[in-house]
Structure 1
Amino acid sequence: MHGSDGLAGSTLPAPTMPLAPGHAANEISRIARQEGKLHICATGPLTNLALALLLDPDLPDFIGAITIMGGAAFCPGNTTPLAEFNFAVDPHAAAIVFDSGMPITMLGLDITRRATVTDDMIREVQAVDAAVAAEAAYLLINYGSRDPCLHDPAAIAWMLEPGIFETVQAHISICTDSGPAAGQVVAAVSERHLAGRAANCTVVTEVDVQEFRKLFVDALRGALA
């Protein structure tokens, strides 16, 4: 999907900063305890966050909110017929996070499949008078030709402008069985399906697509200028 280097063969220079020592799970715990009420935006598999919760059972006391790009609550998956990639590759981690009691907002394929890149957006990026704008446009063109959905930016957009989205409260459980259902999101919304259980997640279900695209381009234009 993203080429052998993860960036579709981009000509961006190699990183000059070395890898940080230690493990991400320990860093999550350290930073949360240092900052307090940390808001984590998770745009990949939830392995490190789940490990942090197992290593530090009091961690939820220091986390204010979790925004997750992952899952497919009311639509088919993209890795299996039932599961989205981030949950499919580590369903047990997703189950640990959703069972943690932390305030969670989930932006799954239900919403990210609506948040798509267009040719007009790419042209607006190309019009920015900065060398890096050409690289940004290249990445959008290459990725958009395979999957036009701006999955991860949708999660950031929610954190910046929640007013352009619509949500529903749900109790989310994650299938951890082996087989094609591994990583499937089971979303209970109706009173009957909740069966007395409290909601544990805000599921984002709709987005004002035009406002999302404007926010995306304006943010990118500001970063590239």
Structure 2
Amino acid sequence: MRQQMMIDLDTGIDDSLALVYLLASPEARIRGIASTGGNVTARQVAANNLAWLDVCGAPDIPVALGAEAPILDELRTSEETHGPQGIGYAELPAARRELSPLSAAELWVKLAREHEGTLVGLVTGPLTNLALALDLEPRLPEMLSRLVIMGGAFHHPGNTTPSTEWNISVDPEAAKQVFDAFGAAETHPLPIVCPLDLTERIILRPDDVSALAEVAGVPGEVIAPDDPLGERSTSPNPLIRHLSDAIRFYMEFHRAYDQGFIAHMHDPFAAAIALNPHWAKTRAATVDVELSGTITRGTTVADWAGMWGRHPNADIASDTDPEAFLAHLVERVGSFAASLTADGQR
């Protein structure tokens, strides 16, 4: 049975691949997309989401503009990681679609009410829109079938400060509001949190991009470490070309920070968990977010042993088979790319 989904992205290179993966998944039916400021501004995120839908020949899916700043802080973006438009070197055609008249928070609530008990929520960016949706509909935790969050770091260094992960650090107040709300509701199943502890094991390498193109029927796609910076794909398949150009930028970024010529694909893994939680082993905990620490603001803290005396509010993804997941990702997205014509039709 197809799963009804509301997805909230700050698109973003790995968010882009997550979106394409879900569009390629026959078991997913995306009912709405929220555009959250994070990797780039909310308006650029919305433009990216609309353009990817065109490239993928997707049906009409409402894309809503989210809050343009976090609840308390000014928005910080990460163009050095994802490129000036958030999609690396990819140059997507201008979208032919228009934004929904609803705000992202309103779209969250509308879909939760229309699909109460069956809607799966996925957030791969800051939690601002979901927090604002909770202000509109406090029952939201009880209305969702499942919620998956890419965010946080527990037994792993942060990627923003020594202890903080990017999505949580952009809007710590929103993250705390969401975790507190799900804890108070004592919902089952608990939200699944995919932290850096696990997602940094999801590593895409140049050979995976070549394999993706092979599956799509366009062999010869090569991203090599000794290529000139900014080399562009010439693939005749538009989806492969755009993904390759986005991923190349991401690999160059990781190499510049001494992580190797690789790309951590946090968000596609979270998308897969949203469709099939069995991709990961999880462990229940009570999660809270530090707001006032002078050097730890935005840090996620997990109480694994019940020391706080509070109900668990999250299932934290702790283990998976990265190679099996990457093989699945390559096969699914590559096959989808093979089904598209040059103008994004299927």
**Shift in Å at residue 221 of structure 1?**
0.7
Equivalent of 1:163 in 275, 278, 293? 278
**Shift in Å at residue 7 of structure 1?**
1.4
Equivalent of 2:102 in 6, 12, 22? 22
Equivalent of 1:210 in 284, 304, 323? 323
Deviates more, 1:174-183 or 1:73-82: 174-183
Equivalent of 1:60 in 132, 138, 141? 141
Aligned partners of 1:47, 1:65: CA distance in 2, in Å? 18
Aligned partners of 2:289, 2:200: CA distance in 1, in Å? 21
Unaligned runs of 5+ in 1: none
Q: 1:164 to 1:40 in 2, by over 3 A?
A: closer
In structure 2, the partner of 1:135 is: 242
The normalised TM-score by structure 2 is 0.61
Q: 1:180 to 1:219 in 2, by over 3 A?
A: farther
Matches within 5 A, 1:71-90: 71-90=152-171
Aligned partners of 2:305, 2:165: CA distance in 1, in Å? 23
Kindly indicate whether residue 127 of structure 2 is the aligned counterpart of residue 46 of structure 1. Answer: yes
Deviates more, 1:15-24 or 1:44-53: 15-24
Deviates more, 1:44-53 or 1:176-185: 176-185
Q: 1:93 to 1:195 in 2, by over 3 A?
A: closer
In structure 1, the partner of 2:112 is: 32
**Shift in Å at residue 195 of structure 1?**
4.3
In structure 1, the partner of 2:295 is: 180
Kindly indicate whether residue 332 of structure 2 is the aligned counterpart of residue 219 of structure 1. Answer: yes
Equivalent of 2:176 in 95, 114, 122? 95
In structure 1, the partner of 2:212 is: 125
Aligned partners of 1:64, 1:27: CA distance in 2, in Å? 16
In structure 2, the partner of 1:115 is: 202
Matches within 5 A, 1:2-17: 2-17=82-97
**Shift in Å at residue 2 of structure 1?**
1.5
Deviates more, 1:21-30 or 1:127-136: 127-136
Equivalent position amino acid for 1:34 in 2 = E
Aligned partners of 2:266, 2:202: CA distance in 1, in Å? 7
Given that residues 115 and 213 in structure 1 are in contact (C-alpha distance below 8 angstroms), is that contact kept between their aligned partners in structure 2? yes
Given that residues 113 and 149 in structure 1 are in contact (C-alpha distance below 8 angstroms), is that contact kept between their aligned partners in structure 2? yes
Aligned partners of 1:160, 1:41: CA distance in 2, in Å? 10
Q: 1:175 to 1:195 in 2, by over 3 A?
A: closer
Task: Give CA-to-partner distance per residue, 1:93-137, whole Å, 9 cap, x none.
Answer: 000110112421100111110001012211112322334212222
The normalised TM-score by structure 1 is 0.92
Q: Kindly tell me the number of residue pairs found equivalent between the two proteins.
A: 223
Unaligned runs of 5+ in 2: 1-80, 219-236, 255-262, 339-346
**Shift in Å at residue 29 of structure 1?**
0.6
Equivalent position amino acid for 1:151 in 2 = H
Report % sequence identity.
Answer: 33
